[in-house]
Chains A and B, each alone.
Chain A
């Protein structure tokens, strides 16, 4: 089944404790992206990747890191999480960055205390 998977689905952590949210797709998509969803703010793009070893900042990249060492994986790294990073995170992928449908993962709800 074609899908985007994220792990973990739920995470409660403390300020400053490094964490990684994994994202994997099995559709051989070139483009992958991370979003955060907050009430009243919609979906905001954090980082995106056009292909392996090619990443770029979205609208809200501060406090986040990403890497794209393999085509299928695009982990989101929070080196020192803070409470304002409490949010619902979505990973998405598409065939390419050029006007193709994005497929979203099921989301990761992160709480930083």
Chain B
């Protein structure tokens, strides 16, 4: 079945450094790729998303890149701050047929002050 692999599972960076989280999906029909941030004790919250007709999208310190040929997409956070510490999930959605969302297993990001 459809699968989304996410790496790394944990990531520690110094404040001010960049962080990169990578995901690979299996269903070539997927065309929507959101990233969610989950803070302790809360539900996930969308931080950025990308659709398959776009290769890159930026929003201030956050960017997402998509390589459809390789079925890879990545989250880039620059100038990390302590408040970026959280669990990040990637997901892939196939908005036709099944309308399922498949999430990655999550990355725990720790930004060290």
Contacts and interface: CB of A to CB of B under 8 A. Distances in A.
Interface of A: 4, 31, 33, 35, 40-45, 48, 50, 56, 58-59, 90, 92, 97-99, 101-102, 104-107
A3 B74 CA distance: 29
Interface in B55-113: 89, 91, 93, 95, 98-106
A99 B52 CA distance: 11
Given A97-B95, A99-B32, A99-B93, A105 B43 contact: yes
Nearest to B31: A99
12 contacts: A35-B103, A40-B9, A42-B103, A43-B89, A43-B103, A45-B102, A90-B43, A98-B95, A99-B31, A101-B46, A101-B49, A104-B45
A59 B49 contact: no
B51 interface: yes
B34 A101 contact: yes
Given A43-B91, A104-B36, 20 more contacts: A4-B43, A33-B101, A35-B103, A42-B89, A42-B103, A42-B105, A43-B44, A43-B103, A43-B106, A45-B100, A45-B101, A59-B1, A59-B102, A90-B44, A97-B95, A97-B99, A99-B32, A99-B93, A104-B43, A107-B41
Please indicate which of the listed interface residues B43, B44, B89, B104 has the most CB atoms of chain A within 10 Å of its own CB: B43
